[in-house]
Amino acid sequence: MIVSAFGLGRQRRVLPGFGLSLGVSLTFVSLILLLPLTSLVGQLSQLSWSQYWFLITDPRLLASYGVTLLGAGVAALFNAAFGLLMAWVLVRYDFPGKRLVDALMDLPFALPTAVAGVTLATLYSSNGWIGRLLDPLGLSVAYTWVGIALAMAFTSIPFVVRTVQPVLEDLPAEVDEAAVTLGARDGHAFRRVILPYLWPALVTGTGLAFVRSLGEFGAVIFIAGGKPYETEITSLMIFVKLQEYDYAGASAVASIVLATSLALLLAINLWQGRFIKRLHGGRP
Amino acid sequence: MVRIGDAPGVRRLLIGTALALSALFLLLPLVAIFAQALMSGLDVYWQNLRDEYTLAAIGLTLLVALLTVPINLIFGVFLAWLVTRFDFPGRRLLQTLIDIPFAVSPVVAGLVYLLLYGRNGWLGGWLDAHDIQIMFAWPGIVLVTIFVTCPFIARELIPLMQAQGSREEEAAVTLGASGWTIFRRVTLPKIRHALLYGVILTNARAVGEFGAVSVVAGAIRGETNTLPLQVEQLYQDYNTVGAFTSASLLALLALLTLAAKAALEWRAARRETAT
Amino acid sequence: MSIRIARIDKTYGAKGPGQTRALEPIDLDIHDGELIGLLGPSGSGKTTLLRIVAGLEQADSGSIHFGERDVTRVHVRDRRIGFVFQHYALFRHMSVYDNVAFGLNALPRRERPSTEEIRSRVMQLLEMVRLQAFAKRFPAQLSGGQQQRVALARALALKPDVLLLDEPFGALDAKVRQELRRWLRHLHEELHFTSLFVTHDQEEALELSDRVVVMSNGRIEQIATPDTLYRQPANRFVFEFLGDINRLEGDVEREVLTCGNARIAVPGIASGRHELLLRPHEISLATQASDRAHLPVTVSAIVPVGAEVRLELEADWLGEPWLATIGHEAFERLDITRGKRLFALPSQLHRFDAAQPTTLIPATAS
Amino acid sequence: MIRLSSPRPLFAASAVGLTLMLGALSSAQAQEEPRELLNSSYDIARELFAAVNPQFIAWWEQQHDESVTVKQSHGGSSTQARSIMQGLRADVVTFNQVTDVNVLADAGLVAEDWQDQYPNNASPYYSTTAFLVRKGNPKGIESWDDLTRDGVSLVFPNPKTSGNGRYTYLAAWGYADQAFDGDEDDIESFMQRFLGNVEVFDTGGRGATTTFVERGIGDVLITFESEVNNIRDEYGSDDYEVVVPPVSILAEFPVAVVQEYAERNANEDLAKGYLDYLYTEEAQRLLAGFNYRVNDEGVAAEFSDRFPQTELLRVEDIFGSWPDAMETHFSSGGELDQLQRR
């Protein structure tokens, strides 16, 4: 049906393979993405609104939203700063081992999250390499929200670096030079000139890091204390509900996570589109 | 050349901070994995590696990657071809749909598959009646892994193919080339690197997926345990060394991934400066 | 503010075969209020020289003085220069107003004028570049010419001692370029700053500059007023670079140059092989050869441009065709059509293969 | 260089096609000889069954002249029950929660009267909840009371997800019930203090142990007596001490054949044999070796020095029945949720 409807315009298509690629893509998208997601909708449709509302406003769940948002927020902010620094250093400076450091930036994507979680928990627990140093200072990372933020930050490091880096690379030398010939000091020039150029990439990268952190599970569960109201993240709540055979509850919470993530992604895309429009013309 | 932030003091400070933070956040965990794995010496490491269940986990993990990568490769290429070479209603929607796995928490991904294929699920009842097992067996693991990794190749290809435009393909059509020839001779050489890149990313994620797989795997040792699940279980068994032995395999693979990626980037950069 | 450039040189790359010499030691004095054009082909070192004056590059040795002030080691931001970039380099996220105000806002707090003062200064500058109405626009919403005017206003905001322009009109189309040139000339006379600009367009250099510095391969070939430059080029490079040329190469014997079936009297030239050059406007055409010059040619292309007509002339004794420009009156009188056979009569010939460039005038037939 | 195989128009595989293909492959794999028994168990029983299974295989071979293999699946007891309901084809379950087997019985996978099919309510061994404290018992922990003191931090698995955690919760409640003579307010304030002292809630017993032992978190780990003793054995008595409180709860470890799957897998006899084996003297001795209390009198006497006399409360006696206890305490919005609210 759909294929034939699209096929109406076939005469105008110069390149071959429209039908085939549309068929394959739609089949795949339907089977792998949509069909399973509809089952979520199906599960949810068995709930009344009041039941749904009751499920998603459970105080413990509300607390877990808070913990998750806090962790993801801190992680995203950390990554905004760290990612900006790394992108800057990797683009602007030459130093021995630069290529190695550059490659290392992708480690969190290449390393399975469970491995990252186990390793971070081992490093930061009070008898781990780092935890041992922090413990006497009264700082505990593992099993506190700091640990959650840490694991989230680790798994989303590449987002900011890899979105800011190409923009910084493409920034013409003239932008720096223009600022300097106009007498601007480094700080002023960076804040007022360079940063605005990087802003769209920085926000996008930070946003993606945030979204990823909201859904992160593998790395976080090893280092999150799982203490209700304090160190319980929303993904864990879904997992817990699954273990209680509470599919309705799990689906309800999942729908919240899913909706939040999708809304954020959409917002990032829209915002980026508008920003770019302003910079690249289009009279008001 | 005068650039902002090139005063030696600033430079040294920033490079120093960057290196210190990278070492702390990225290098140290990596070192820790191998240190923990080799804590009791090479013999124990070797023994852990040859453990029956670890070997089974390696096998299953390879199987998952071997099935997932080609399927996503084919899909990614077709999808990229579709959305970059044709304009049709719903094109943007399709592109957005592809991003869903990025937005979905892996646990949710596992959940939706369980809801569909589980014994009480929509298809599950029928499958069960016909004695076909998807969940808690390797097909389920493969399916969720495909779900989780399906955007990678398409996402690498789409921006590139969009930027390249379809002029060359159109030229090939005017020269009478068939679709397959156009793809193989004109398009493929241009997207080879991005494609390989996507494959590397897909592979890394396929091998390492934990959250989604743990929901549908059923934790049967030697049968439905992938390497990341094996890491978790050994870790829960107080077998830290064993857990980190499996983890070290995954870390090694991660390093290979990084090396392959860096090599690709390096070659691409070299080609760019050469022309 | 005068500029004194002394023994400036610059080499890129590490020592070795990959090393390139961008500038031979250069000396140049620019007087207060002068408008100087740096002219040369790409790779001649003109942009490097400009950037060294600006402080955007460091010279390997030598010194630069602005007036009495030695600025050789002064950081670019403290040199008090204005710099205009080829591609404008406007800050695209800032409005036109903010772009122009940037330099003033970047001043340390105690030197910074009040917001009111900044405002009036910026508006004054925008008025000067005739863009008051565009203050709130963003650069992407302006045309190339408008953007370059904003860039100029921005560079002038801090009242620089010296204005440096790097191919300022290079990215603009011919008509806008013409307009901006005139306008810049005017502005320069009005504000009387010392300027140095880089261009590869000889017409631009000749039209704008008080003096032109012709450069090639990191060397200064000639420094002269446009008029002198055109009339008395110091060497073949300058002559060639400043306009179209026609070549005539042949053997001279008894003061007559022969090339195939073409002959021309060349008084005062010793026997041997010689190359002579002449500009398109130094050729006139006749239906008959004169007793001094027998240069048969065939008209192969006709392009009427403004006040003159450009003709392409071919002959079997010529390696490459000649270009001649003649008036419409002569064009009509001779009734020129494509394929018409005529005789060329040079009014002047230039010779650069001697120690001194010389100009000879073959006695013309009337 | 990447070479793709040529795209066949037929590739546009349908849902059923793909599913069937994958399914057929997997079931083909499952048909392989020798017969394979899948035991789904709770997550701290790994070492136990790793020791039991080879013995059982030998025993089975001796009795039936057939060599078989036994596979293990471990997880939180409830997770395991969920997986089985969703299609994890376990032949037998060896759980630590009566309720989790009941869930399977309700779903029709396990016989209704499963508790009557084997001795002692189909529980071949039992245990109780005990404490593991750090060397020298620095906080002086002797009884449940001590766990509610300020500054004592506790580690035990989340009662929502772990049977182990549920026993801990019920044991504390049972103790309080006895101590305060059923006064609701006192019990609740006791429980609130008790839960308030929890440092980390892991999802399973193993996670809690790892947290306590490997991460060094908490003053007291509360888990099964058997686990506590295992840890002491594993990590040496130099670092830890076991405290068995004078009053605690009876933790039964129910076993059952998953009728539906065992039949389908043609493993019914094997599954029954497996459970029968757990009651043999040989197996009971093995179980006792893993610090589980057993009913075989001879073996119990042999190991009596390991298990201090303690008053074991029955869930049914305090809470009426398991379903009641689950409903009142662990359901969404139940007592546990109320207590944790603040």
Cα separation, C195 vs B129, in Å, equals: 89
With contact defined as beta carbons under 8 Å apart, do B225 and B57 qualify? yes
Output the pLDDT for position A277. 67
Cα separation, B153 vs B148, in Å, equals: 12
- Are D110 and D54 members of one domain? yes
Output the pLDDT for position C363. 58
Backbone angles phi, psi at C325, to 5 degrees: -120, 125
- Cβ-nearest to B218 among D83, D214, D264: D83
Residues 53-112 of A with CB under 8 A from B: 82, 85-86, 88-90, 92-93, 95, 97, 99, 101-112
- Are D219 and D320 members of one domain? yes
Q: What residue has token string 């009337």?
A: C366
| Residues in chain D, overall count | 342
Q: How confident is the model at residue B264 (pLDDT cuts 50, 70, 90)?
A: confident
Q: How confident is the model at residue A144 (pLDDT cuts 50, 70, 90)?
A: confident
What is the rounded average pLDDT for all residues in chain B?
88
Domain that holds residue D93: 35-124+253-305
Cα separation, C54 vs C194, in Å, equals: 13
Cα separation, C103 vs C83, in Å, equals: 12
Looking at residue D90, which CATH number applies to its domain? 3.40.190.10
Level-2 CATH architecture, domain A57-279: Orthogonal Bundle (1.10)
B contact test, residue of A3, A29, A98, A115 with most B CBs within 10 A? A115
A240 interface with B at CB cutoff 8 Å: no
DSSP structural state of residue B220: B
Burial status of residue A45 (CB atoms within 10 A of its CB: 0-12, 13-18, 19 or more): exposed
Q: For strand D247-252 and strand D311-313, is the pairing parallel, antiparallel, or unpaired? A: parallel
Extract the tokens encoding A248: 């309705």
Output the pLDDT for position D15. 42
Residues D146-199: pLDDT tens digits?
999 999 999 998 887 778 888 999 999 999 999 999 899 999 999 999 998 998
DSSP 3-state helix, strand, coil percentages of chain D (rounded to 5)? 50, 15, 30
In the structure, do chain D and chain C come into contact, i.e. share 3 or more CB pairs under 8 Å?
Answer: no
**D4 falls within a domain:** no
Domain ranges within chain B, ordered by starting residue: 1-37, 41-274
10-residue mean pLDDT series, chain C (366 residues): 92 77 91 93 92 92 93 90 90 92 91 93 91 92 91 91 90 84 86 90 90 94 92 89 89 89 86 90 89 90 89 90 91 90 90 82 56
A168 interface with B at CB cutoff 8 Å: no
SS3 B218: coil
CATH of span C246-360: 2.40.50.100
Q: Residue A242 pLDDT more than 90?
A: no
A182 interface with C at CB cutoff 8 Å: yes
- Are D173 and D245 members of one domain? yes
The structural domain count of chain D equals: 2
Q: What residue has token string 């709540």?
A: A237
Side chain identity, residue C176: V
Q: Residue B128 pLDDT more than 60?
A: yes
Cα separation, B136 vs B146, in Å, equals: 16
Q: Which residues of D are less than 8 Å from A58 in CB distance? A: 332-333, 337
Domain ranges within chain C, ordered by starting residue: 3-241, 246-360
Output the pLDDT for position A250. 87
- Cβ-nearest to A23 among D12, D85, D340: D12
Q: Residue B84 pLDDT more than 60?
A: yes
ipTM over 0.90: no
Q: What is the mean pLDDT of residues A187-201?
A: 91
Extract the tokens encoding D167: 């026993």
Output the pLDDT for position A210. 94
Q: Residue A7 pLDDT more than 70?
A: no
Higher pLDDT, D262 or B164: D262
Residues B237-256: pLDDT tens digits?
778 889 999 999 999 999 99
Q: Mind listing the pLDDT tens digit of every residue in chain D (342 residues)?
A: 333 333 333 333 344 445 445 554 444 444 457 899 999 998 778 889 989 999 999 999 999 999 999 999 887 777 788 888 888 889 999 998 888 899 899 989 999 999 999 999 999 999 999 999 998 899 999 999 999 999 999 999 888 777 888 899 999 999 999 999 989 999 999 999 999 899 888 777 777 887 888 777 889 999 999 888 778 777 766 788 889 999 999 999 999 999 989 998 899 999 999 999 999 999 999 999 888 999 988 999 999 888 888 899 999 899 988 889 988 998 877 888 888 875
Chain A nearest CA to B191, separation (Å): 17
Cα separation, C80 vs C156, in Å, equals: 10
D contact test, residue of A18, A240, A243, A251 with most D CBs within 10 A? A243
With contact defined as beta carbons under 8 Å apart, do B120 and D86 qualify? yes
Output the pLDDT for position C173. 83
Side chain identity, residue A73: G
What is the rounded average pLDDT for all residues in chain C?
89
B163 interface with C at CB cutoff 8 Å: no
Level-2 CATH architecture, domain B41-274: Orthogonal Bundle (1.10)
Residues B189-202: pLDDT tens digits?
889 888 988 998 89
Domain ranges within chain A, ordered by starting residue: 57-279
Residues C2-11: pLDDT tens digits?
999 999 999 9
The neighbour count for residue D164, using CB atoms within 10 Å, is 32
Q: Which residues of B are less than 8 Å from C76 in CB distance? A: 2
Q: Residue A136 pLDDT more than 90?
A: no
Closest by CA to A241, choosing from A81, A56, A84, is: A56
Residues C53-104: pLDDT tens digits?
999 999 999 999 999 999 999 999 888 899 999 888 999 889 999 999 999 9
Q: How confident is the model at residue A9 (pLDDT cuts 50, 70, 90)?
A: very low
**D263 falls within a domain:** yes
Q: What is the mean pLDDT of residues B86-100?
A: 84
- Are D206 and D67 members of one domain? no
The neighbour count for residue A259, using CB atoms within 10 Å, is 11
Cα separation, B20 vs D266, in Å, equals: 61
Output the pLDDT for position A279. 64
Side chain identity, residue B33: I
With contact defined as beta carbons under 8 Å apart, do D174 and D325 qualify? no
With contact defined as beta carbons under 8 Å apart, do B230 and B57 qualify? yes
Question: ∠ CA(B13), CA(B19), CA(B23), 5° rounding?
Answer: 145
- Are D115 and D242 members of one domain? no
Contact assignment for D12 to A244 by CB distance below 8 Å: no
Closest by CA to A226, choosing from A236, A214, A212, A235, is: A236
Level-2 CATH architecture, domain C3-241: 3-Layer(aba) Sandwich (3.40)
SS3 B7: coil
B185 interface with D at CB cutoff 8 Å: no
> What pTM value is reported for the model?
0.82
Contact assignment for D22 to B77 by CB distance below 8 Å: no
- Cβ-nearest to A182 among C56, C93, C103: C103
What is the rounded average pLDDT for all residues in chain A?
85
- Are D268 and D290 members of one domain? yes
Q: Residue A75 pLDDT more than 90?
A: yes
Extract the tokens encoding B156: 């690498």
DSSP letter for each residue of C262-328:
EEEE-TT--SEEEEEEE-GGGEEEESS--SSEE-EEEEEEEEEETTEEEEEEE-TT-SS-EEEEEEH
D contact test, residue of A27, A143, A233 with most D CBs within 10 A? A143
Extract the tokens encoding B81: 């071809």
Give per-residue burial for C213-249: e unless 16+ CB within 10 Å, then b.
Answer: bbbbebbbbbbbebeebbeebbebbbbebbeebbebe
